[in-house]
Amino acid sequence: MKSYIWLGGLIIVLVAFLFLSVKSESGVDTPNNIGVISVADNAKGNINSPLVVTEYSDFQCSACRVYYFVMREFAVEFGDRVAFVYRHFPLNQHKNAELAARASQAAGKQGKFWEMHDLLFEKQNEWAEVKDVDVIFDSYANLIGLSLEQFKSDFNSKEIKNMVNDQKNGAIKLHLQGTPSFFVGDKLIQNPNSTEAFKTIIREALKNN
């Protein structure tokens, strides 16, 4: 009987060890699609780079808007050496966030995800609390030269809805606590002290890749 108890205890210890072994240094489970670019991703910069910076963000989030300008600066400084990936994590308390995510992906179907991405952040105050936000998104589609008919069709498509939902669920599975959340490679970056501190993390990661 004692040998069975000992064996059972050993199995529990081994299972616990294996569980901890698959954690990242930050203590967050990192699935295989962190640090790599999937076909569904919106990516820019050097997409062949071994270093991928992944952002989980919400177009209606005020902090995300602040970091939009930071990431734009990073794309200029590191764009030839780093791939930057944007993934959707629309928070439930932001009533228009999921619709904005769908608008960006609908624009992406016509090759203009980043143009819509930029407009949504730069004009956030214009649409964030509006009731009939579709009208504003249609105007943005016209502004960046999209086919409005196709944009509307894609905006309401099951494909786009599923894509946004899949990325949101991915963020939830990662136990991310809010937006924006960043991974440099597979390392979760939580609340860097400053833009310069964030740059230092990227520079150090580049040295190791």
In words, the CATH class of domain 27-207 is alpha beta
pLDDT at 6 over 90: no
Find the Cα–Cα–Cα–Cα dihedral 90, 127, 39, 29, rounded to 10°: -20
pLDDT of residue 72: 97
pLDDT digits (tens, 9 = 90+) for 10-48: 333 333 322 323 333 444 455 557 999 999 999 999 999
Quote the tokens at residue 78: 């590191």
3-state helix, strand, coil in the chain (%, to 5): 55, 10, 35
72 sits in which H/E element: helix 62-78
pLDDT of residue 8: 43
pLDDT of residue 31: 58
- Residue 91: pLDDT band with limits 50, 70, 90: very high
Mean local confidence (pLDDT), 119-128: 99
3-state secondary structure of 77: helix
pLDDT of residue 192: 72
- Residue 164: pLDDT band with limits 50, 70, 90: very high
Choice between 151 and 14, residue whose per-residue pLDDT is larger: 151
Choice between 154 and 8, residue whose per-residue pLDDT is larger: 154
57 sits in which H/E element: strand 52-57
Choice between 15 and 113, residue whose per-residue pLDDT is larger: 113
pLDDT digits (tens, 9 = 90+) for 175-205: 999 999 999 999 999 767 789 999 999 999 9
pLDDT of residue 209: 83
Report d(CA 204, CA 135) in Å as an integer: 44
